[in-house]
Amino acid sequence: MIRLDGVTKQYPDGTLAVDDLSLTAPDRAITVLVGPSGCGKTTTLRMINRMIEPTSGSVTIDGQDVLAMDAAELRRGIGYVIQHGGLFPHHTVERNVAAVPLLLGTAKKRAISRARELLELVGLDPALGRRYPSQLSGGQQQRVGVARALAAEPPVMLMDEPFSAVDPVVREQLQDEFLRLQGELGKTIVMVTHDIDEAIKMGDHVAVLRVGGRIAQLARPHELLAHPADGFVADFLGRDRGYRALGFATADIPIHPEAAVTVGSSVREARTGAGADGWVLVVDAERRPLGWARPADLPDEGSIDESALALGGTLAGSGGPLRTALDAALSSPSRRGVVVDDDGVLVGTCRAAEVLSAIESSDRPRDPSLDGA
């Protein structure tokens, strides 16, 4: 557990970056600091590993006062991930990952072997370990940065906008991959981001900071969306709070059987499987959905190939959040939302009206400020 108690950082010129901030980051959870520029979120993060020394207050990790520890020793026991990966350009990828274990005295052969294991863990081919950072894409460099932070097997990780330097598609992939890793490893993590959507997705707890380094609200993501503490938090969260909150809501919704044809089937066969609206779902040989087709618009003697598919629809996981089910129904050209299992195999389809009915019947998250009232 990381605990900050009455922490203040004031610079010699009088600038108050963080003002009497108290925060607890629970074990095996991700606590995200988010807020506008100048709110002190990165300063707060760097006071945990003493890259910035607090003016007053205390910072403890598992009950140990970090100010009483040797700063270099402290940092070696904390994983640290920053923008662009922060890699050493003159070292190979595997030497970058092995850097801290080598500093701690791990034998070189073992450190390099572990580095290759970690590259695979974060979704990279271990053969990339012999390359230099400049030979990798931005997304690959960020994965290497995560691998390096994990190399010394630290119980605590600090992450300073780790996914902000890559494009939106890669960012989402990295977020999903890191959440998978966290599910396996269970680290105690404090993360900084300027992106409220990223904070809501990544955080078990989210601390919204206001300019001047004070916490405006600390809550679980679904509580934050449902019950902003004040106008500042509400404005920072922005619009569509109700829709985004559906990402944390689940309910039983009807799943309807859906006829499907395999890609490569004849147009004539596809027409017999099409619904009354003319749309038919197309799947691969393992019954994984590929898209929708309208066989009535295709030549009689043709076949259903991927060029004939409408690809706009998203997929919803069986038993997943109501947001993904509603989005799947609304984005589907047939208005039938495709539902898949954990392996991506077709389960059936859902209807927007039935998802909305489930939403209306579900309980709104309780305002935690009313607890004990």
**DSSP 8-state assignment for residue 256:** B
What does the DSSP 8-state code read for residue 126? G
Q: What is the pLDDT of residues 225-263, one digit of tens each?
A: 989 999 999 999 988 888 888 988 888 999 999 999 999
Does residue 241 sit in the same domain as residue 111? yes
Q: Tell me the residue type at 362.
A: S
Final residue belonging to a domain, choices 221, 248, 275: 248
Same domain, yes or no: 226 and 282: no
pLDDT recorded at residue 373:
46
282 three-class SS:
strand
For residue 371, the model assigns a pLDDT of: 60
Residue 84 lies in a domain: yes
CA separation for the pair 324, 332 (Å, rounded): 12
- Two structure tokens written together for 120: 């695979």
pLDDT attached to residue 255? 96
Residue 291 sits in the same domain as residue 154: no
Asked whether residue 105 falls in the same domain as residue 38, the answer is: yes
Whether 308 maps to a domain, the answer reads yes
Domain assignment present for residue 174? The answer is yes
Q: Is residue 369 part of a domain?
A: no
Is the same domain home to 145 and 223? yes
Q: What is the pLDDT of residue 366?
A: 64
pLDDT, position 163? 85
Residue 319, C-beta contacts closer than 8 angstroms, at least 6 positions apart? 250
139 and 280 share a domain? no
Q: Same domain, yes or no, for 267 and 235?
A: no
Among 219, 248, 277, residue at a domain's last position:
248
Same domain, 226 and 273: no
Task: Determine, yes or no, domain membership for 125.
Answer: yes
What is the pTM assigned to this prediction? 0.83
- Tell me the per-residue pLDDT of 35-64, one tens digit each, with 9 for 90 and over: 999 899 999 999 999 999 999 999 999 999
Domain boundary among 199, 216, 248: 248
pLDDT at 165: 73
The pLDDT, as a whole number, for residue 125 is 92
Residues 19 and 59 both lie in one domain: yes
What CATH number is given to the structural domain containing 190? 3.40.50.300
What's the CATH code of the domain at 344?
Answer: 3.10.580.10
Q: Which residues, in sequence order, are bridge partners of residue 291?
A: 282
Question: Is residue 214 domain-shared with residue 297, that is, in the same domain?
Answer: no
10-residue mean pLDDT profile of the chain (373 residues): values are: 96 94 96 94 96 96 94 90 83 93 90 92 91 91 89 90 83 88 92 93 96 94 92 91 88 93 92 88 95 90 88 90 94 95 95 93 66 53
- Helix 138-150 to helix 108-121 angle (10° resolution) is 130
Query: Do 20 and 160 share a structural domain?
Result: yes
Q: Residue 229: give the domain boundaries.
A: 2-248
**Percent above pLDDT 90 for the chain:** 65
The structural domain count of the chain equals 2
Rounded distance between C-alpha atoms, residue 161 and residue 280, angstroms: 43
pLDDT of residue 2: 96
Q: Say whether both 189 and 302 belong to one domain.
A: no
Is 176 a domain residue?
Answer: yes
Look at residue 253 and tell me if it is in a domain. Answer: no
pLDDT of residue 151: 87
